[in-house]
Amino acid sequence: MLELHCPKCNQSLNIDEAFAGSVCRCSNCGTLMSIPELPASKHNTPPEDQPISRIDNPLQPSTPQPKPQTHKLSTSKKQSKLRSTIKFLTLLIFILLAIAITVYVLVYLNQNPGILTQPPK
């Protein structure tokens, strides 16, 4: 075991030698600190017939935690959805504009019933 002292809060930390040369977080204040390398004489060399295991990230738990499932759309799907929404809104605006023009013309013709049959002045 390695004994470290946090540079911020001076908390004493006992770290397993397997984490030598990596980074750890103080359990008291959360400060990140480097764990010094072991001297060459202290390295435990495994026997030739046993595979060498390596710790990739000592800050991560040893057993993989299941990731929460999120329903995020990929960028291309987001762009496609945005394009179809824009197309729909554009079509809706044109339909509403056509309805507004039709209503305006009908109201105008009702107020001036002979406008289409009278000769121009």
Domain boundaries, the chain: 2-39, 73-121
Segment 62-91, tens digit of pLDDT: 566 666 666 555 678 888 889 999 999 999
Q: Does residue 101 have a pLDDT over 70?
A: yes
Strand partners, 3: 14
Pairwise CA distance, residues 114 & 110, whole Å: 9
The larger pLDDT score, comparing residue 44 to residue 83, is at: 83
Pairwise CA distance, residues 44 & 23, whole Å: 20
